[in-house]
Amino acid sequence: MDTASGGPRPSLLFVSDLGYEARGRRYCDEDIFLTSRLREEFDVALCHPRDAAALLDGFDAVVMRNSGPVLHYQEAYDAFRARVRQLGLPVYNALDGRGDMAGKQYLVDLSRAGFPVIPTADRAADLGLLPRADEYVVKPKLGADSVGLRFTRDAVLPDGGDGTLLVQPRIDFRYEVSFYFIDQDFQYALYAPHPERRWVLEPYLPDPADLAFARRFVEWNSLAHGIQRVDACRTAEGELLLVELEDLNPYLSLDRVPEDTREAFVARMKVSLRRLTA
């Protein structure tokens, strides 16, 4: 579309919950900033995730951003997915993600396959394969934003091992680090030097080994298009282990990156969306 010569501009339905309160993050600020910049090249309408399915007609693509945990509006989200497939409407991120978009089963699968992830089990028969630890983390496969997370002294599955919960050893780590990608292209990295302050992030300069680690999971995911965040922890021994592969609506912490990095990210996102709506 030749927008420079006055032709029609691609239209985007930008899905966000501006009222969602996340610990340590301002979702609304990030999406207000992104929509203001996307409007430079696109016609943008913003809606709540509960309203998205009813508002899809007439748009060239949907951008799913900081819409909060899907479990808070699962029925509306299922209706949204069904409707965009019926319309053949592109969604950003693509709906074929294998990471958190599909629940946390991938942590079990990757752990069994020998990937560098925090060891994870979802069956009573596999609990003995987990490394010994002073404490374990139990969380639901369909959880998000720490909803339903709890700590236990022993590696047990309170659900009896019916596959709805995960168990992981509580890792003693030096810091957490996140790698951000658009369409499988690395953009920037941030880390939390103080483990007790997860969202107080600072720029992080990854070395080749760090990038190879993050790219391994992005390539495994094979997401057709969109934004991914690879969250990892650096163990006391210096190893990186995957914590989460966020491929539905990853918070970007754009307020924590230098201005030139933020501008480069916005420019790359525009390129990605132009390709999607061409």
**pLDDT for the residue 6:** 59
pLDDT at residue 1 in the model = 45
Helix (H) or strand (E) holding 216: helix 208-221
Burial 143-182, CB ≥16 within 10 A → b, else e:
bbeeeeeeeeeebebeeebeebbbbbbebebeebbbbbbb
Residue range 74-90: mean pLDDT, rounded = 95
Q: Is the pTM of this model over 0.85?
A: yes
Q: What is the pLDDT of residues 207-260, one digit of tens each?
A: 999 999 999 999 999 899 999 999 999 999 999 999 999 999 999 999 999 999
Residue matched to tokens 């946390």: 104
User: Residue 89 class from Cβ within 10 Å (0-12 exposed, 13-18 middle, 19+ buried)?
Assistant: middle
* Residue 221: C-alpha distances to residues 43, 120, 136, 194 (Å): 30, 18, 27, 29
**What is the rounded CA–CA span in Å between residue 200 and residue 218?**
24
Q: What is the separation of C-alpha 47 from the centre of its chain, rounded to a whole number of angstroms?
A: 20
What gap in Å lies between CA 79 and CA 57, rounded to an integer? 14
Angle at 87 between CA 85 and CA 92, to 5 degrees: 60
DSSP for 133-176, please give it. Answer: -S-EEEEETT--TTTT-EEESS---TT-S-SSEEEEE---EEEE
Q: Are 170 and 134 in contact (CB under 8 A)?
A: yes
Choice between 43 and 165, residue whose per-residue pLDDT is larger: 43
Instruction: Give burial (CB, 10 Å; 0-12/13-18/19+) of 9.
Output: middle
Cβ contacts of residue 246 below 8 Å, gap of 6+?
99, 100, 228, 229, 230, 231
Residue 144, pLDDT score: 63
Q: What is the pLDDT of residues 134-187, one digit of tens each?
A: 999 998 887 665 667 888 888 888 766 667 889 999 988 999 999 999 999 999
E strands, the chain, where?
11-15, 43-47, 61-64, 91-92, 136-140, 150-152, 165-169, 173-182, 185-192, 202-203, 227-235, 240-246
Q: Is the pLDDT of residue 189 over 90?
A: yes
Burial of 247 (0-12, 13-18, 19+ CB in 10 A): buried
